[in-house]
Amino acid sequence: MNLTIQNHLLFAGGKQVPYRATPNRSGIMNPDTIIDHDTASNPLDPSGDIGWLTMPVASASAHVVIDWRGGITQLAPFNVQCWHAGPSKYGNRYNFNAFAIGIEHDNPGYLRKIGEGIYSGVCVIDTNRNSEFRVARVATPEHGDHYWLAYSEKQIAASAALHAALKAAYPAINTVLGHFHICPGRKTDTNPLFPLSHMQAIVRGEAGELPPPIKTKPEPQAPVTAKPSFLPDATVIADSLNLRGGPGIQFAVKGAIPYGTRIDVQEKDQLTGWLRVVTPFGATGYVHGGFVRLD
């Protein structure tokens, strides 16, 4: 998909993408961040969420909506503040609407299993009737333990192309976050199957030519490679801290580290807070940074 941005408007193959103006916008901004969202709507009914995001009563909007088939509709120029983030905080920054572009992806959000291959949430997702639908159960500390609809290949390809086009038009963009990062406890979008780390790599110029992964399963156990030496730089502050095989509670517990143990933190995932660590007993694995005090 050949996406370009001219005068803060989006073009695909030289032709402006459909534009539906939203009144839910405020002043001019210089974007340096992208926030990825889900619409929490029926993926096969793209008209619903665009209708809602362009109504004054919604008091909500985003710059673009990417539908299930990969079609993109723009609702406001990229240098105008839209109302997609709400009260928000990440690191030492607040009020993400003031500097972040909002991308909505048609996806229903969390689902409950109500039958074999049938799931319910804001709509019914029947994988028996629609072979395009792939649903996986995934638990993360930020999302909880639910069933989620995998994004479609076309949707992810369009989203990746858009992230790249935005970076080209606004070189200051260096951060990609999910709505759940900036509104913890209040938001769970994008869902855990969204390839956020790939989108982050795109804006950092690190993604290369690889197409974005279409995730239908939790990420496999991350490989652990130990540093040759043990250089403790943190202290466990939980009574008994689970050491896991990967960065998330969906990964198996490999052991427990007692309170006060000195550990070596080798890597920190700034997005999720998970740490890759080595224990004094030579074990390697992952712990959540909330239970560790760094020196």
Closest approach of Cβ 91 to Zn ion, in Å?
Answer: 18
Residues 191-250 that bind Zn ion (CB under 5 A): none
Closest approach of Cβ 189 to Zn ion, in Å?
Answer: 4
Q: How many residues bind Zn ion (CB under 5 A)?
A: 3
Give the residue with the Cβ less far from Zn ion, 196 or 287. 196
CA atoms lying within 13 Å on the CB side of residue 105:
30
Give the residue with the Cβ less far from Zn ion, 182 or 241. 182
Residues 152-181 that bind Zn ion (CB under 5 A): 179
Those residues whose C-beta lies under 8 Å from the C-beta of residue 88, and which sit 6 or more positions away, are 94, 95, 96, 97, 182, 183
Closest approach of Cβ 258 to Zn ion, in Å?
Answer: 39
Is 17 exposed, middle or buried, given 0-12, 13-18 or 19+ CB atoms closer than 10 A?
middle
Q: Which amino acid is at 187?
A: K
Does 106 bind Zn ion (CB under 5 A)? Our answer is no
Q: Which residues of 37-75 are buried (b: 16+ CB within 10 A; e: fewer)?
A: bbbbbbbbebeebbebbbeeeeebbbbbbbbbebbbbbb
Mark residues 253-292: x for contact with Zn ion by CB under 5 A, - for none: ----------------------------------------
Q: How far is Cα of residue 184 from the mean position of the Cα atoms in its chain?
A: 12
Mark residues 182-201: x for contact with Zn ion by CB under 5 A, - for none: -------x------------
Residues 36-55 that bind Zn ion (CB under 5 A): 37
- Other CB atoms closer than 10 Å to residue 149's CB: what's the count? 27
Interface contacts to Zn ion, rule CB under 5 A: 37, 179, 189
